[in-house]
Structures are given as C-alpha cells and as structure tokens.
Chain A
Amino acid sequence: NFMLTQPHSVSESPGKTVTISCMCSSGSIASNYVQWYQQRPGSAPTNVIYEDDQRPSGVPDRFSGSIDSSSNSASLTISGLKPEDEADYYCQSYDISNPVLFGGGTKLTVL
C-alpha cells in the first residue's frame, strides 16, 4: 500500500531553519506532486506548498518545498522560524488507487 511517512515531531529555535520530511513507501516520489498543509491548534489546515515547490499567494518565502529522488522523499523547509510557525504539518500526494493521501503529520515546536 502507498503510504507517506512523516516524523512524529520536530523542534527548533526561533530564527533557525527546520526541514520536515515525507517519505513515499512505494513508487517514485517524483512521479506525483506533493502538497503541504499547516494546521495551527484549533484551526483548519491551510495549503502552504502545492505541486512540490509552489507557494500559494500570501505564503511567506520562508516556506519552501523540494523533492529528493535519492531518498524518495519530499521536504518542507521553513527558514527564519517564528513562534507562529508552531503547528502540525501534513504532506499529501496520491497514487493510482487513491486520489488523495495524507501523511500522518508532524508537530513542529518552536522552542
């Protein structure tokens, strides 16, 4: 079964850079676009990256997405961390049998 695996949690200090990974269990990560969503406590998710590395309007350029074929993973990188970046982050992709699949989510703590 196609799965997207994320670390349960990551933490970093304000001003630093953090990277959240999303590993694809089967097939090539480069074959299907990956999206990322931010979910602050008590709020609905918002899209921060689509089509691997595209930022929706209004999302700061501190947020970037990338694909690494060697590790079959996608990554969300947040630079210049701010306290308001503390949230859960979900990757999302698809495969031939399921048009939408989410990763399990990563809790980002800004220390």
Chain B
Amino acid sequence: QLQLQESGPGLVKPSETLSLTCTVSGDSISSNDYHWGWIRQPPGKGLEWIGNIYSRGSTYYNPSLKSRVTISVDTSKNQFSLKLSSVTAADTAVYYCARTIVVITLHYFDYWGQGTLVTVSS
C-alpha cells in the first residue's frame, strides 16, 4: 500500500526558507509512471498547487510561486523535497505531498500524504 509522509519544521520565521521532505513507501519514486507533487492549504481556505517533479529531475511549478520554489528528489532515500524561500505569514498552510499522474498536459493526484502544518511566525 502506497504511503506518503511529510516531515519538517512546523514553525518557520518570516524571510527564512521553509523546507519539507516527503518520504514515499510502497512504491519506488523512480517509477516511470508517476511524478511527485506538493500542494498546500491555508487554514480554512482552498487548495493551491505548488509544483511537481519527475524522478529524472524535470519540474513543473505554479507560476505564482515559481520564483521562490525548488523541488528536488533523492531516489536513494525514496524521498522528494520542497524548499520555499522568503516566506511570509501568507505561506502558513498545511502542506501535502502527493503522487501525481501526468498525461501530456493533464496532471492530477491519486495518493496524498496526511499533510503537515507549517506556521510562519517570529
């Protein structure tokens, strides 16, 4: 059974970099069939896609966040990671990692982690 688990600091100071890792079990992150993505949800609000990565390193990013986001993959640990720089209170959210199906221009998410709350505050 595929499982994804987010991990990382729950509190980040303004202007610093948010760093999260997603550990995948039950499937190889090197699978040719899937990408791996990050989505966030501010408290009480809707979902916002952050970006996806393929095991060979190709990435897709939300244009509104692209200048601050880096997603990377570590196939040896079966993990992928998110870095979001210059954070503000507006980046406070539950951050989800998810397995992503990509078919040409179609991207969607079939397995999700449980999510982790990251608060930006001094």
Interface residues of A (CB under 8 A from B): 32-33, 35, 37, 43-47, 50-51, 56, 90, 92, 94, 97-105
Contacts and interface: CB of A to CB of B under 8 A. Distances in A.
Contact of A47 (B46, B48, B52, B109): B109
B67 interface: no
A97 B60 CA distance: 11
A101 B112 CA distance: 17
A94 B106 contact: yes
Contacts of A97: 63
B62 A98 contact: yes
Interface of B: 37, 46-49, 52, 60, 62-63, 96, 101, 105-110, 112-115
* Interface of chain A: mostly helix, strand, loop or mixed: strand
Nearest to B6: A44
Contact of A56 (B49, B96, B106, B110): B110
Nearest to A6: B46
B112 A45 contact: yes
